[in-house]
């Protein structure tokens, strides 16, 4: 291998450092309207060549061309999907993770990193009310967390029921479950028992009725509830579902990828009652916990059960397992991954720097602005209608008289004018407006600009 690839290049360092420094010191909240991206293939043509390129040329190509197709997720005007709003501390420490080439696979090689990640997992587990023995690991995100947890649910059910691989198994899910849950079941070869929600909320009563009415002989081995649906931020009846799961010996998993951050917020903590009874749950730190992308916390009530499923056996891993004593912890034993970047470290650093009170206040600000916006719509914008009161920080609203095309045209104009990135969604087969408030820097004045834009031109 050409040694030049691994040598220190002062000019390259200065170029990248200058770009990073400019980005991190900027208070610019512009969304940046993306161009169509139709000419990207021409721009990139021939770039990956045998001889390489001048680093300044490549960086400028990114800055002047590629970045123009990117909407700034970190802007407080990014109000669609579940945006990311990483703290500067987490972004900076993400650079440390990369520059130090940190690996978070085995205690043998990464003890300090894993101990720090586990400190964050312990904090989240305590907020959820789980026992001191609970634990897990950080994975790439909610999809990976759901997959890893439900693999454990499946394999433990096979052992308990004495069923061979390939036996037909089912998992009870709501018709409001995140799309990753359905994908997970398909990947692991398990079918879904879809339970109708009650006003978009999965309840214990609905689960009990579905199980009582079920005539399919194949066993239902787990149930997945949601603590904060992506579309509307609805928290399922966790306590009621836990009762039914216990009565039917079902693995109880909660997808709290978005809403789990609400555990930090006293104003909504009681809505999560029942989460302390889970067998597993996930929280994405790159959503409402202000971490960089690619980090989700996966926590088990009994991590040793997960270890019995996920721990990998191979001649080259024997030394790793022999080194693992009672106090040691290999994250690779608790999820489907082996090699992993320690995605929990930026969150650990940010929490240690800012403190949990700051996180509490930042999350409460998202909850508060959602409620304030709902009140504002009701009192000052007769052309708008709140579809349902916000439970967390998502708010659905209707612009009376608009067609689907008018919502999409409005959304496009908002972005072009740099007022906000507010994509419509679908609710009960109707296209409607939706806010997702995550960034603590979003102000009610920014929201007013968006709401004002829904007025008729003549008004």
Helix (H, G, I), strand (E, B) or coil at 191: strand
CA distance 344 to 329: 15
What is residue 39's predicted lDDT score, i.e. its pLDDT?
Answer: 81
* Inter-residue contact 104 to 112 (CB < 8 Å): no
Tokens of 445: 């004045």
CA distance 37 to 262: 37
CA distance 153 to 255: 14
In which band, very low, low, confident or very high, does the pLDDT at 22 lie, cut at 50, 70 and 90?
Answer: confident
> Rounded mean pLDDT of 296-304?
97
Beta bridge partners of 78: 421
What is residue 79's predicted lDDT score, i.e. its pLDDT?
Answer: 97
Q: How far is CA 154 from CA 38, 139, 149, 279, 308, in A?
A: 44, 19, 9, 13, 12
> Rounded mean pLDDT of 285-305?
96
CA distance 124 to 90: 17
Check residue 196 and report its DSSP letter. P
What is residue 1's predicted lDDT score, i.e. its pLDDT?
Answer: 44
State yes or no: pLDDT of 123 exceeds 60: yes
Angle, CA 370 vertex, CA 366 and CA 372 arms, to 5° = 115
114-128, 160-174, 326-340, 342-356: range with lowest mean pLDDT: 326-340
What is residue 314's predicted lDDT score, i.e. its pLDDT?
Answer: 85
Q: Which of 7, 178, 147 minimizes the C-alpha distance to 82?
A: 178
CA distance 283 to 299: 9
Q: Please state at what angle helix 345-354 crosses helix 107-128, rounded to 10 degrees.
A: 60
Q: What residues contact 277, with CB distance under 8 A and at least 6 apart?
A: 238, 239, 242, 245, 246, 252
Residue 58 neighbours by CB distance under 10 Å: 14
Q: Tell me if the pTM is above 0.85.
A: yes
In which band, very low, low, confident or very high, does the pLDDT at 83 lie, cut at 50, 70 and 90?
Answer: confident
What is residue 320's predicted lDDT score, i.e. its pLDDT?
Answer: 75
In which band, very low, low, confident or very high, does the pLDDT at 323 lie, cut at 50, 70 and 90?
Answer: low
State yes or no: pLDDT of 8 exceeds 70: no
* Inter-residue contact 380 to 450 (CB < 8 Å): no
In which band, very low, low, confident or very high, does the pLDDT at 265 lie, cut at 50, 70 and 90?
Answer: very high
* Inter-residue contact 79 to 442 (CB < 8 Å): yes
In which band, very low, low, confident or very high, does the pLDDT at 322 lie, cut at 50, 70 and 90?
Answer: low
What is residue 10's predicted lDDT score, i.e. its pLDDT?
Answer: 82
CA distance 377 to 366: 17
CA distance 142 to 255: 8
């Amino acid at each position: 291998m050409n040694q030049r690839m691994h040598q220190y290049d002062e000019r390259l360092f200065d170029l990248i450092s200058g770009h990073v420094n400019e980005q991190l010191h900027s208070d610019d909240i512009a969304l940046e309207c993306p161009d169509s991206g139709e000419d990207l293939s021409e721009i990139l043509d021939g770039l990956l060549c045998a001889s390489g390129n001048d680093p300044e040329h490549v960086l400028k190509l990114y800055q002047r061309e590629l970045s123009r197709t990117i909407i700034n997720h970190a802007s407080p005007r990014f109000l669609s999907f579940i945006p990311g709003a990483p703290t500067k501390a987490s972004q900076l420490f993400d650079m440390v993770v990369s520059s130090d080439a940190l690996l978070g696979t085995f205690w043998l090689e990464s003890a300090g990193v894993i101990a720090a990640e586990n400190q964050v997992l312990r904090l989240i587990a305590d907020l959820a009310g789980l026992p001191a023995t609970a634990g897990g690991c950080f994975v790439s995100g909610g999809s990976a967390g759901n997959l890893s947890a439900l693999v454990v649910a499946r394999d433990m059910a096979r052992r308990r029921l004495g069923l061979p691989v390939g036996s037909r198994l089912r998992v009870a899910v709501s018709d409001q479950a995140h799309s990753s849950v359905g994908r997970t079941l398909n990947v692991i070869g398990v079918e879904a028992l879809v339970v109708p929600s009650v006003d978009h909320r999965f309840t214990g009563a609905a689960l009990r009725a579905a199980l009582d009415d079920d005539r399919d002989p194949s066993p239902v081995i787990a149930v997945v509830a949601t603590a904060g649906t992506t579309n509307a931020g609805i928290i399922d009846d966790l306590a009621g579902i836990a009762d039914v799961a216990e009565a039917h010996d079902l693995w109880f998993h909660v997808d709290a990828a978005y809403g789990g951050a609400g555990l930090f917020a006293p104003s909504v903590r009681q809505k999560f009652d029942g989460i302390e009874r889970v067998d597993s749950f996930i929280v994405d730190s790159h959503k409402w916990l202000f971490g960089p992308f690619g980090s989700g916390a996966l926590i088990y009530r009994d991590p040793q059960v997960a270890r019995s499923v996920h721990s990998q056996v191979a001649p080259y891993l024997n030394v790793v397992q022999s080194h693992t004593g009672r106090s040691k912890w290999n994250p690779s034993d608790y999820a489907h991954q082996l090699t992993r970047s320690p995605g929990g470290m930026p969150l650990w650093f940010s929490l240690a720097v800012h403190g949990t009170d700051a996180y509490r206040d930042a999350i409460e600000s998202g909850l508060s602005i959602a409620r304030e916006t709902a009140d504002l719509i009701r009192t000052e914008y007769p052309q708008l209608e709140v579809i349902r009161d916000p439970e967390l920080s998502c708010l659905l609203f209707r612009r009376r008289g608009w067609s689907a095309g008018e919502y999409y045209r409005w959304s496009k104009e908002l972005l072009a004018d740099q007022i906000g990135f507010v994509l419509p969604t679908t609710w009960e087969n109707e296209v409607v407006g939706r806010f997702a408030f995550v960034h603590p820097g979003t102000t009610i004045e920014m929201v007013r600009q968006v709401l004002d834009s829904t007025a008729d031109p003549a008004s």
